[in-house]
Amino acid sequence: MAKKEYSAITDKYWVTEHNFMEEVRSQFTLPEQVRIHDVTLREAEQAPHVVLRPEEKLRIYEALDDMGVYSVELLPIVSDDDKELAKELVKKRRTTKVFFLCRWHKEEVDFAVETGADGVIIEGTSVPWFAKVALGGITEDEMFKLYVETTAHAKNNGIFTTVMPWDTCRAPLPFLERLYKGIVYEGGADHVVIADTHGSSLPWAIAQMVRKLQEWVPGTPIEMHCHNDCGLATAIMLSAVSAGASVVHTSINCLGERSGNAATEEVALGIELLLGLDTGVKLDRVYPIAQMVAEMTKIPIARNKPVIGDNEFTFESGMVVYVIERMAASGERPFGVYLPELIGRKGWDVVVGKGTGAGVIAKKVAQFGLSATREQVSEITKRVKREASLRKWSISDDVLEIIVKDVLEGR
């Protein structure tokens, strides 16, 4: 539910109060609640080179359930193994709901119904030009019929039905209006999805698209799915929510086809801290699950990746380290946007390098069980900066200890 009271400053996080100014909030139409629909189990394997074994997918589901995401998504048609996994996952499901992604084919819906999935997400293109060129010349009328009839078939079989016409943002508006109205009023869809399949939209355009759907199919919950081709996936998700979308499709570590989907960790944190809404996600589970998924997929997390990258809580600048220590001692608010513990990370790290100051060096000398004069600390600091410049990287404690001993012994 939307938070009745929200503070931009707590002992765990500190965001700008400008996010909550009336001039800003008046532009929003926030939903009462936001659900995270995590697509890692499907999209991760659509990332090049990635393969997840069935037992790994089950473990990821367990972690996502523990983290509090509302639902997950599988694509059973990929292989016989995936069909068997879908059956097993439905049997072993916990609180987090299990949805099957289905193309606009009734037999795929039937499999979901027979298996006992919590719902289906029916997909197909929404771009007539694409259907003509790539799908054997399917016409607009045929596309419309496939969507409406498959949606109605799902609803007639009593399963929760979400419909996702992909590449929505590159489809002509007149056809989209006809399509969404048909999906809802003739097919009976429970939810509809806007899919920026190639991440080509500006956040403001997405907000306008959400408002369009609210005009076309008022009262129908809207979901948002997008990719990160232009680096805007998280911004697109927050923009969609600000306009009223109540479900966001996200993936751990941004994993997905090409440059990936909107990252679960970024979107959940943004909705909670920047928009002030609850997602049901336990943020302190974010970092551990991100590390686990990185190991399983063999896709390393970039050091400068927002939220979960190593650099987020690793510091080298002597001045910055000094400030962090002073602020930590006050206990009133964090130096950055949030404390590492908020996302399940244990504290912050200090590395020694070109930017390191004498204060950090003095503490390192003490940690080695040694003592140095102010002049010796100054000389050690100079040598560290020189060595780091030559190596073009930070200095390990082993190397630092050699430098310290050289200086203390007058070498």
What are 350-374's pLDDT values in tens digits?
899 999 999 999 999 999 999 999 9
Q: DSSP label at 300?
A: P
**The pLDDT of residue 2 is above 80:** no
127-130 — which CB contacts under 8 Å span 24+ positions?
127/167, 127/170, 127/171, 128/171, 128/172, 128/175, 130/167
Domains 17-297 and 311-408 share a fold: no
CATH of 311-408, one of 1.10.3470, 1.20.1070, 1.20.120, 1.10.238: 1.10.238
3-state DSSP: the chain helix, strand, coil percent, rounded to 5?
Answer: 50, 15, 35
Three-class SS of residue 394? coil
**The pLDDT of residue 3 is above 80:** no
CB count in 10 Å sphere of residue 305: 19
Q: What is the pLDDT of residue 5?
A: 63
**The pLDDT of residue 4 is above 70:** no
Q: Are 147 and 183 in contact (CB under 8 A)?
A: yes
Q: What is the pLDDT of residue 319?
A: 85
Q: Are 75 and 82 in contact (CB under 8 A)?
A: yes
**The pLDDT of residue 40 is above 70:** yes
Q: What is the pLDDT of residue 316?
A: 86
**The pLDDT of residue 296 is above 60:** yes
Residue count of the chain: 411
- Give me the CATH topology for the region 17-297: TIM Barrel (3.20.20)
Break the chain into its structural domains and give their ranges: 17-297, 311-408
Half-sphere exposure (Cβ direction) of 16: Cα atoms closer than 13 Å:
5
Q: How confident is the model at residue 326 (pLDDT cuts 50, 70, 90)?
A: confident
What are 252-263's pLDDT values in tens digits?
999 999 999 999
What DSSP string runs through 96-146? SEEEEEEES-HHHHHHHHHHT-SEEEEEEE--HHHHHHHSSS--HHHHHHH
Q: How confident is the model at residue 164 (pLDDT cuts 50, 70, 90)?
A: very high
